[in-house]
Structure formats: C-alpha cells, structure tokens
Amino acid sequence: MFTHGTVTVRCFAEVAALPVTPVTCKRPGTRRSGGLRYNDRSTIASAACEVPMSRWDDETFATWHPRDVRRLIRTGELRGRSTSGMCSGYAQANITILPKSLADDFEAFCSLNPGAFPLLYRSEPGELTAPPLAEESDIRTDGVYSVCKNGRLLPESGSLLPYTDQLKDMVTFYTGCSFSFEGAFLEAGVPIRNVEQRRDVGIFRTSIRCQPFSSFDCEVVVTMRYIPEDKLETAFRVTHWTPTSHGAPIHIGDPAMIGISDVENVDWGDVVKATPGDVPVFWPCGVTMEPAVMSAAPSIGFFTHGTKGCLFLCDIKTTFVKDTNMADTPSLVQISQDPLFYSVTSEKAVSRVRELERIVLPPREAQNGCLSDTHDEGALLKSSLSLSHASSVAVVVATYPEQESIPQERCERLQGAVAVTAMLQALGKEVTVVTDENSTKLVDTIARELVRVGYLKKAFTVLPYPKCDIPSTDKSTGENGPTNLKFDHLVRIGESAQEDRSLDQLFPVKLPRIKTTGLSTDGSDTWISTDYTIRAGVSSWGVWALSMALFVLNACPIHDRYLRRSVGTARDMTDAVAAAISLEREQLALSVVLKQTNNMERSGELQFSAEQKGVITAMRNLAVPN
C-alpha cells in the first residue's frame, strides 16, 4: 500500500488476502441504509484506490453496527482511528495473543487482576475468529497491533496476516474495554470529554502493582476521564454495573496519589482538556497488557496497539449487572480536599456507619434528637474511610501514670486505644501508639499483656512525645537504629491534662497528606484542630464506633475493591471478625488495663455499666450480623 496525495492505493495482493464479505459503507451525513455496498474484491480494490483517507473524518460511527466498522478497519480505511465513541452500546475488546505455553498462566493473571483484564473470551490455539463475540471476524485484520519478541517491542504491525503460521500455535484473549460503557455514560447524562474533543482517552502508567502470577508482573495502566463533580456518583454507578468493561473507577481525585505526576504527559492516547468543575477519575485499562506481555518476554506476542486506541468491536451489547439492593448501590464520599480524594462504599454500609454514630451521641443530643453546633455530622464515616485507606496509623493517647491512681476516664481511654488498634492491625495497618513520656513503659506493658491473653495478634510500637518529634521528621532513632515513622493518619483519643498540652501540639500543625481524627467526650476540646472530630457520650464509645465503622467498610465488597484498586482477591475478614468488639473481649481488655494501672481494687467500680453493655451489644449486632 502507498499513498499519493490524499489518495490511498492498495496493491491487489493485499486486497486479495481479505475475506470475501460484503462491506457496508456510509457517507458522512447519510443513513446507514444509504451507503454503498461492495460485493467483490475488485470493487474493494477500486474503492481503495479512489477514496481519500479523509472520507470518514467527520463520521463518529456512533450509530453503526460493529460488523460494518470492522470491515472498514479490515480494509485499512479506519486503521488510524480510535474506536472510542463508535458503535454505542456495543462491547469493545482489547486483544492479547500469546504462545499456547503461556496461555494458562496469563488466564490466571487475568483472574487475579479483573479490573485491568475482564476476560470475555479465550480462543482455542490457532482460532482466528471469536464466535461468542462477533460474526465475520478475523483477528488478523480487525485491529491494530503491537508486536513483542523476547521482551522487545517491534514497530507496529498493520495487520497480522504475515504471522498466520505463528498464530496456529497461539491463543487469543479478548478482554473488556472502558470504551464499552461510553454509550451508557451518554444515556445517563455523563459527558465524555475525549469524544467531545475528538481525541483518544488519556492513558497513564501508575504506581499500583498488579497481583503477579508466574512470569507476568507489571504496574496497572489506567485511563483518565474528566467527570463533572455533580456526575461523579452517576459515572461510578454506571461503570460499577458494567464489570466486563473494567468496572468502576479505582481512584477519584489527585493523580499524584497513584503515581501520576503530570496529566499533560500521557503515556498512551491523547491529552484531554478539563472543563471547570471536572474531577479526574481513573479506570483500569486494557493497555496493562503491554507491560504484562513485556514482563513475560515471550518468543513472540501481539496486543492491541495502545497509541492507536483501535480495539476489536464486538457484536454483543455491553453487559449491565444492575441491582437495586442497597448493598450493591455505590455511595461516593469526598474525604479530603487537599489532596482531593473521594472514597466509596455501599449505601447499606453508609447507613450502618451513620447508625453507629447515632448510638454514641452525647446524652443531651441523643435525648433532644438534634445535633449541637460543635457536632461534625458524618465525621465518623469520613474518618473511618480515611483510616481505611491509610497504611500507617499513630494512635495518640495520654495517661499520666505519676498520679496515685489513673481516673476512670483515662482507663477507658486506654481501653479504647487498644480496641481500635486491634481492628487496625486486623486490617493490615501498621499501628504505633504515641503517648506522654511518663506513660510509655505502662502502655508497652499493657500491649504485651494483651498479646499474651490473646486480645492482640502482636504488640504495637510505643513512642514517647515530645522526645519523638513527629511533626518535623520522618525518622527517629530506636533501640535498633533509625525507624521510619511516617504516618498517614493520626488518631487522638481524649484531651490532655490542663497542665501538659504537649501531645496536642501534633494537631494544630497541619502536615501534608497526613489526616487527623479527634475523639472526645461531650463538648470537650473544641479548640483542637483535626480533620475529623468524633464526639461521644463516653470517650471509649467513640473509639468503639470507629473500630466497628472500619469493620463495616472493609466488609463491603464495593469499598474493598476500591481500596485494593481491583487488584488481587477480596479481603479475608476472619481476623477482623475476631477483632470486632464484644462484651467478652472488652471485659478482657479492661481487666488488663486495671491490673497494669494498679486499679484492681477498684475493679468493681470500673466494671461496665448496663448502659455500656447495651452500647457494645448494639454496635456488635449492627456491624457483625449473625
């Protein structure tokens, strides 16, 4: 094939290799039924010589049937066009073709990374068609491909016809693509900025790692779409119900949080411009197949060319799996403005967390049925979502053991600290307890005793403040040398003694990308600056509510998938169930705290009241249904 001016000339030998199938073409501005029909190779060859490549520039192909567009791709007339926006309502597929010796491993890799690789069909070795997905298809000519040999990327292949012999021993994987849900977006009133701007979607490498399997090991590649803020939840729900098209987004907000430093510097596709009020939203992308195949370094492999965005068009409609059940209805929550970040869970989980918040309201608010001016409604939900995304948490608590006996409220505070620590540990977080210098030995002893009696899986690290200057440094020197003390979230339990506000210095200092939660009793510590302030009638109640809110969120499949970026398998909640509060567990923790604080003679006085027992039972029954 060669080009003279604007006319493309196709040699007869190339055209002769095309299947003998009728081709329906459409002139810009006409109905499909008014297009020209070519019935033989000579007519196709003649048309290829006479029709300029610019013929289809003004055609979106949104209303075309996929088989008609595939025929144009097959003849080379649309080989340079992205299929984004084409054949609205129909599925599109990314293609990966590998030697049959790697096929089982790649299928297992797909199952571990369903966001990037929602498998639609696996062919038999040498099979060039995809009967469940499309009629009259030929994988050799119905797309634009990259070629990989021994981990090295070769120049683009216009078609795979020259590789027909190699394909006899290769397996083709058809995996879903986000282009498939664009029609549903338009029906739901969600604008598609890249289609509006006649561009391909922007595609980026990230810092998120796929779950490796055998020789396949790479980072997740994502597409970014700008979505108006008031359409975010609609966009999330539409794609949540289309799991075969990559499903719901895996990140909403600041691109830097997933390793994208500059959205103007795309790795594949085109730069798309935002409209005021738009929020960047990221979906797993089938282009992840490129680094995946490169990592396995097969003797030869083929995959959809990421730069062109020309995918395999399927004759099947996009699959929707919609459920009106609250447990399967996503609910978005903005949990941070700097950096901009949204999290997600189900409507059912949101309802349960809000009920936990009502259970622990300070008495006057619970009795009056209204919230005080100082109550931050929704703080429990936002705080628990933020903590769920954290990897390293500091729980800040003061006890002041130099006093003859520790007051009841401070015993409850210690008990609350170990309760939330147990849940955070069960969810895989690194937890450090920061306390006043005089209390470090006491808190460390309590931690070790709680491990001995089976309340905790492992002892937590205990650090003193102010000797450990957390706000100004990421490192401190411990017994074994420098220790990384970088935290994602600080949780402050209760107020400091009036004579010593040193612990409170952690909170007025705003640290970049570190969120803070304050838990206090009715109306206290309103001057302390935290991102989320949870108020409760009793200090330990608020901590118990936070612990159980974390359980509710992580037991939610929608939140779990978003949390792990659709990589790997669903969380095993066995440890979290064991760490959930119960009368037996909290009585055990209280007895350890009383023993270590020399308060055993007051054990009768400090036992749980009927009201406290009722609160524990209500939380347990709400969060961990039988």
CA distances to 20, 48, 103, 242 from 11, in Å: 16, 9, 36, 42
Query: Lowest-confidence range among 27-41, 388-402, 468-482?
Result: 27-41
In 3-state terms, what secondary structure has residue 389? helix
Give the count of beta carbons closer than 10 Å to the beta carbon of residue 242: 22
In 3-state terms, what secondary structure has residue 237? helix
For the segment(s) 60-317, the CATH number from 1.10.357.10, 3.30.2040.10, 3.30.470.20, 3.50.50.60 is 3.30.2040.10
Cβ atoms of 462 and 432 within 8 Å: the answer is yes
Cβ atoms of 226 and 185 within 8 Å: the answer is no
In 3-state terms, what secondary structure has residue 424? helix
C-alpha–C-alpha distance, residues 580 and 575, integer Å? 9
Strand spans (E) along 461-620: 461-465, 475-478, 481-484, 489-493, 515-521, 532-536
CA distances to 127, 294, 356, 624 from 621, in Å: 54, 50, 11, 6
Domain ranges of the chain: 1-57, 60-317, 327-623
Cβ atoms of 355 and 305 within 8 Å: the answer is no
pLDDT of residue 191: 95
Q: What is the DSSP string of 8-19?
A: EE--HHHHHTS-
Residue 59's closest CA among 30, 23, 88, 22? 30
Give the count of beta carbons closer than 10 Å to the beta carbon of residue 223: 27
Top-confidence residue, 477 or 432: 432
The string of pLDDT tens digits covering residues 132-183 is 999 989 999 998 888 999 999 987 777 899 999 999 999 999 999 888 888 8
pLDDT of residue 139: 94
What is the phi/psi pair of residue 224, to 5°? -115, 130
User: From the DSSP assignment, how many helices (H) and strands (E) are in the chain?
Assistant: 19, 26
The arithmetic mean of pLDDT across residues 421-449, rounded, is: 92
Cis bond upstream, residue 155 (ω within 30):
no
C-alpha–C-alpha distance, residues 438 and 447, integer Å? 16
The arithmetic mean of pLDDT across residues 38-63, rounded, is: 53
Cβ atoms of 517 and 390 within 8 Å: the answer is no
C-alpha–C-alpha distance, residues 232 and 214, integer Å? 37
Question: CA dihedral defined by 468, 471, 477, 481, rounded to 10 degrees?
Answer: 140
Mean pLDDT in the chain? Answer: 82
Percent of the chain residues topping a pLDDT of 90:
54
Confidence band of 23 (pLDDT split at 50, 70, 90): very low
377 class by beta-carbon count within 10 Å (0-12 exposed, 13-18 middle, 19+ buried)? exposed
Q: Residue with structure tokens 């919230």?
A: 371
The string of pLDDT tens digits covering residues 209-254 is 999 999 999 999 999 999 999 999 999 999 998 888 999 999 999 9
Cβ atoms of 120 and 133 within 8 Å: the answer is yes
All residues at 6 or more sequence positions from 3 whose CB lies less than 8 Å from its CB, including other chains: 9, 53
pLDDT of residue 186: 87
User: Above 60 in pLDDT, residue 513?
Assistant: yes
The string of pLDDT tens digits covering residues 577-619 is 999 999 999 999 988 988 887 655 555 555 788 888 999 999 9
pLDDT of residue 313: 93
Return the CA Rg of the chain.
30
Residues present in the chain in total: 626
Residue 26's closest CA among 81, 79, 1, 63? 63
Q: Of 142-146, 301-305, 423-427, which one has max mean pLDDT? A: 423-427
Confidence band of 503 (pLDDT split at 50, 70, 90): low
